[in-house]
Amino acid sequence: MTMMKLLRVYTDETAYFGDRKVFELIAERARDARLGGATVIEAMIGIGRSAHTHRRHILENDRSVVIEIVDEDARLRTFIANLRDLQGIGLMTLEAVEIIDLQSDPESADGRA
């Protein structure tokens, strides 16, 4: 088991930086920074500080999007500093997570030694 950090970046589908979607740029920057990986999750409904409800509409998409990235604390903090130029990020959180590798830890797989 390894202790790492989880960065969550909250935005929405309609957030653009120039002609690119913000969530795509963040995922691309995570790849370029060789972070542990990024997962982009589309929410069914999201309500932010403005109390505007983000959801999928018939003619347009306005869903909330969460990007999750797991890596070492120092690497994530450097990455966060490199996102300061992006507009359209609603919130970022950083929390400790425990990584469980079922391939290398036989106790994790069946609970026995």
pLDDT tens-place values along the chain, 113 residues long: 678 999 999 998 889 999 999 999 999 999 999 998 899 998 877 676 655 555 555 545 678 899 999 999 999 999 999 999 998 898 999 999 998 888 875 554 555 54
What is the model's pLDDT at position 61?
A: 65
Question: What pLDDT, on a 0 to 100 scale, did the predictor assign at position 10?
Answer: 93
Which contacts qualify for 37-41: CB closer than 8 Å, 24 or more apart?
Answer: 37/69, 37/70, 38/67, 38/68, 38/69, 39/67, 39/68, 39/69, 40/65, 40/66, 40/67, 41/65, 41/66, 41/67, 41/68
Domains and CATH numbers, the chain: 2-110 (3.30.70.120)
Please indicate, yes or no, whether the overall pTM of this predicted structure exceeds 0.85: no
Q: What is the pLDDT of residue 107?
A: 58
